[in-house]
Amino acid sequence: MTHTIFPPRRRFLQASAAGAALAALPRLASAQAARLDPRAKPTLYAHRGASALRPEHTLGSYAKAIEDGADFVEPDLVATKDGVLVARHENAITETTDVATRREFAARKTRKTIDGEVHDGWFVSDFTFAELKTLRAVERLPRMRGTAYDGQFQVVSFDEIIDFVAAEAAARGRTIGLIPELKHSTWFAQQGLPLEDRFIATLKAHEYTRRAPVVVQSFEVANLKALRKAGLGRPANVTLAQLVIAGGAYDMEQPADVVASGGRLTYGEMVTARGLRDVAAYADIVAPNTRAVIPLGKDERLAAPTALVADAHKAGLQVVVWTFRPENAFLAADFRNDAGPNARNDAGSVAEIRRYLETGIDGLFSDDSALARIAIDGRP
């Protein structure tokens, strides 16, 4: 049987922008208000930093998110040709750096198939860290979010991010967590650049990540199980998060490592009550797309909540949803205004987040931490 899979967050972003509606998972008659720990305030995770306001995965983006009240910042991690972990949302860098304008790297343009998706362009794994440092970050969605900060920020390593977050935490007098995602783990291992050992070594090398909260996330399964078996997650400051994408056609998609091993497990199966109990054997958090918790109906308005939050809580898992974005293109129809799909809609974004908070989710990813903080704190 041939399987085709795609990077889940990237494809979900494209589908959301196009207004795609997801078919419903099993529904609840009403939202589940209780979080796993009812005394805890929902946790705010800055998705690639403040990626609605600055080029993603840059120190500028992380700094803005921290200033705006994020509890955690998210570096997605991939490996360079010489084995350095750097923050990029995927191995491909064509859309998020100025590499296409650099004559000295023109010959590096190539085609790769990664996790079932064909990409033409330039890739982190074909560059040394020193070479990546000569590039500058650019906005992924220029027509929507502008280009005012293009060219101002470097590609940064995981080491650099940890040092930066530690400095910010010390300056601000509050703990700031990190929620790294291991990207394309199976593919990188096949290229001789396994991520996990490098990742563990980096955590151990920094005093900050030996005590500050760290959440390790992946769309794959085997790497999280291996990390838990290796002892990661047993220190009180480290937890593991299983990313999933579910609802409609997404239910049939599979983790990349499952495909590579010829397995049958789907994300749809993982978010059933039984599947969530299996996830709880190796992870502490399940992190689904927003529409797996409250799907969209045919009119692109929010439908009834699914059973996912309640089932996850019964299994002992926190639920952290991804991703809230402030532009009309990404909002449910309930919350859009008439300013057009590319327009920011702060009030609509806050209202949508608050609707999801009513379901009892324990945390959320947002591209704009300031708006999410308003929603979480209940400010007008």
End-to-end alpha carbon distance in the chain: 53
Parallel/antiparallel/unpaired status of strands 43-46 and 177-178: unpaired
pLDDT reported for residue 209: 97
Find, among 345, 375, 333, the residue nearest to 358 by Cα. Answer: 375
Could you give the dihedral angle defined by the CA atoms of residues 183, 372, 145 and 342, in that order, rounded to the nearest 10 degrees? Answer: 110
Q: Which two tokens stand for residue 36?
A: 């796993």
Query: In whole angstroms, how far apart are CA 213 and each of 148, 171, 230, 368?
Result: 33, 17, 18, 21
**pLDDT, position 4:** 35
Burial class of residue 379 in the structure, from the number of CB atoms within 10 Å of its CB (0-12 exposed, 13-18 middle, 19+ buried)? exposed
Query: What CATH class does 8-88+156-377 carry?
Result: alpha beta
Extended strands (E) in the chain:
43-46, 72-73, 76-79, 85-87, 110-114, 117-121, 177-178, 181-182, 214-218, 238-243, 285-287, 318-324, 363-366
CA distance 64 to 66: 5
What Rg value do the Cα atoms of the chain yield, rounded? 19
Contact (Cβ atoms closer than 8 angstroms) between residue 258 and residue 274: no
Tens-level pLDDT at each residue, the chain (380 residues)? 333 344 566 555 555 554 443 443 444 434 445 899 988 999 999 999 999 999 999 999 999 999 999 999 999 999 999 999 999 999 999 999 999 999 999 999 999 999 999 999 999 999 999 999 999 999 999 999 999 999 999 999 999 999 999 999 999 999 999 999 999 999 999 999 999 999 999 999 999 999 999 999 999 999 999 999 988 876 689 999 999 999 999 999 999 999 999 999 999 999 999 999 999 999 999 999 999 999 999 999 999 999 999 999 999 999 999 999 999 999 999 999 999 999 999 999 999 999 999 999 999 999 999 999 999 999 77
Q: Residue 18: how many CB atoms within 10 A of its CB?
A: 9
- Whether the Cβ atoms of residue 276 and residue 316 lie closer than 8 Å to each other: no
Residue 35 and residue 17: Cα distance in Å, rounded? 29
Beta-strand (E) ranges in 201-330? 214-218, 238-243, 285-287, 318-324
Q: What is the pLDDT, as a whole number, of residue 216?
A: 98
Backbone angles phi and psi of 285, in degrees to 5: -135, 140
* Predicted pLDDT of residue 2: 32
Q: What is the pLDDT of residue 208?
A: 98
Q: Where are the domains of the chain?
A: 8-88+156-377
Cis preceding linkage at 323, omega within 30? yes
DSSP class of residue 92 equals B
- Give me the pLDDT at residue 10, please: 57
What pLDDT, on the 0 to 100 scale, is given for residue 32? 42
